[in-house]
Structure 1
Amino acid sequence: MSKLLEGKDKMSYVINVNRLKNRLENNQGNTVIVDVRFQLDDPDAGRKMYLESHLPGAVYMDLNKDLSERAEKHGGKHPLPDMDMFAAKVGKIGIDHDTSVVIYDQENDMFAARLWWLLHYLGHKKVYVLEGGYEGWIMDGNEVTDEIPALESKAFEPDISGGQIADIEEVKEKLEDRSATLIDSRAKERYLGKVEPLYIKAGHIPGAKNYFWKDVFTAKGSWKKEKELQEHFTSLPKDDEIIVSCGSGISACPNVLALKMAGYRNVKLYPGSFSDWISYEENVVETREE
């Protein structure tokens, strides 16, 4: 067990500000901090915020340029990056399998969970999301900097195991034979097709159940604990396979993280999600609650 998670909640993938601060102050080393702040309506905003100020030693990774690749006709709005190229980038910023990685967003947002999922997909175990993100660090009275760190490049070797991704054919097959439960992580009004700010079709994949990704947080915006998450997902049998989707495979990731914190092991991400589903004209959408 990593010293990063010493304390009561050792099953968590979330680290609080004090633990990160203590680790940095005690110079425990071998920790890389990654800033993934991003705005979907302003793709350059996150990098600009990083250049203005960030946690000491943090390096920036961009949703569009690093954590996904350019979309083709199919595959969704934010397809997964080429994994060999992504692994090379991970190594270049100083990460290998012995490195502890702490990822932060503006607050508790979806982009940190996306990088968390990508690193777990590549077999990296020591990956944690910072509770409260950049704002949580600032509110605790900690310093930030505009200094760009010099990082030592390392060799990161992917160790991908199966059973972590579902493509559109698997989603169709398992919905038809009811061998898996599909989750839609978007807001209820988008799930029901009442509003749709991003895509030409509104609604959800037929058969999907709605679990809004922000519901894994408390009313104060912090990550729910294990027992709270177990209650949140109580209608989902732990022995069942869960496939998690959203609009383009980003906001699904907090649900994946939360499901794993709640003890679910058979959890897959549908990276293309609704944006991939509707890229096939023959696929229908549903607007009723399921």
Structure 2
Amino acid sequence: MAFTVTAEELKNELEQGTNVVIIDVRFDLQEPEAGRRWYKEEHLPGAVYLDLNKDLSSKPVKHGGNHPLPDEGRFAKRLGDLGIDRETKVIIYDQENDMYASRCWWLLYYMGHEEMYILEGGFSRWKELGYETTEQVPHYPQKQYNASVRPELVATMEEVKEKIRNKRAILIDSRSKERYLGLEEPLYEKAGHIPGAKHYFWKDVFTEGGKWKDPSELEKHFQTLPKGEEIIVSCGSGVSACPNFIALKLAGYEKVKLYPGSFSDWISYEENEVATGEE
């Protein structure tokens, strides 16, 4: 299964008039309105915009983490309003190769979509090649998005707790090493990680040049993880775990789940312990 498309390939598809919908998901956690502003200023021709907080997540409540999964019916309607149905080929781009495009890719996969790709290098690569951008907002004929949800891709807090305790799955923490160790925590009231989690920083699935590593490189990166084991990926709130999800799939791992609530959900339960330092 291919996960990415190059800027050159996308440009060629647009020139040939291929039926494709492009989704711009640029976002800034520190300045939530920045992505929409960037989109209004310029974006790829024909691109629509999806917002991490408003479209790719539901509003946080007491439990569920800082970026709970969106309501499936609402998200399906949003996709249909943008001219996307299950047969539509979708290309997703971020500013570069960042976590928001992976979150959108994962959500489409969760909804049962088959043809969705991340633009390698994102908006920056498109601009670097001198390709056209626009400020025009497209309007596509509304479609019906009939989701076929894959619930097996999701792990709940209770499932994570039980499987880690009984060594029935391997939990990955995708945040920076400093946050994993509990040396710093810029977002939450507790620092550290879920006991038993192994550390795999999400940015390590990219090369020094910022490109996705190829499958053989990713196999080497994850070589200590048995392919027959179930892998649950987590992070702070289920966003930066998504590049690890994709990278594991690229490396040939089949039993991969996302814990959408991740650390921010885990610490919302007072009884849950938090570990610091190396496991």
CA distance in 1, matches of 2:25, 2:203: 18
Q: In structure 2, what is the equivalent of residue 4 of structure 1?
A: none
The aligned runs of 1:1-290 (5 Å cut-off) are 11-28=1-18, 30-290=19-279
CA drift at 1:12: 2.6
CA distance in 2, matches of 1:162, 1:204: 25
CA distance in 2, matches of 1:153, 1:243: 36
> Could you list the per-position Cα deviations for residues 129-182 of structure 1 after superposition, in whole angstroms to 9, with x for gaps in the alignment?
000000010001101000001111111101113310000000000011100000
CA distance in 1, matches of 2:100, 2:127: 19
Structure 1 counterpart of 2:68, which letter?
A: P
Give identity over the alignment, percent: 61
CA distance in 1, matches of 2:77, 2:223: 39
Q: Which runs of 5+ in 1 are unaligned?
A: 1-10
CA distance in 1, matches of 2:46, 2:75: 21
CA drift at 1:257: 0.7
> Could you list the per-position Cα deviations for residues 98-139 of structure 1 after superposition, in whole angstroms to 9, with x for gaps in the alignment?
110000001100000000000000100101000000001000
Question: What do you get for the CA RMSD once the two structures are aligned?
Answer: 0.7
CA distance in 1, matches of 2:158, 2:57: 21
> Could you list the per-position Cα deviations for residues 180-199 of structure 1 after superposition, in whole angstroms to 9, with x for gaps in the alignment?
00000000000000010000
Count of residue correspondences:
279
CA distance in 2, matches of 1:37, 1:161: 26
Structure 1 counterpart of 2:244, which letter?
A: N
CA distance in 1, matches of 2:181, 2:97: 25
Q: In structure 2, what is the equivalent of residue 5 of structure 1?
A: none
> Could you list the per-position Cα deviations for residues 207-240 of structure 1 after superposition, in whole angstroms to 9, with x for gaps in the alignment?
0000000000000000001111111111111110
> Could you list the per-position Cα deviations for residues 239-276 of structure 1 after superposition, in whole angstroms to 9, with x for gaps in the alignment?
10000000000000000011111111110000000000
CA distance in 2, matches of 1:214, 1:252: 10
Structure 2 counterpart of 1:222, which letter?
A: K
Structure 1 segments (4+ residues) deviating >2 Å = none
Q: What TM-score, normalized by structure 1, do the two folds share?
A: 0.95
Q: Which runs of 5+ in 2 are unaligned?
A: none
CA distance in 1, matches of 2:251, 2:129: 28
SS in 2 for 1:163: helix
Structure 1 counterpart of 2:87, which letter?
A: D
Q: What TM-score, normalized by structure 2, do the two folds share?
A: 0.99
CA distance in 1, matches of 2:116, 2:145: 14
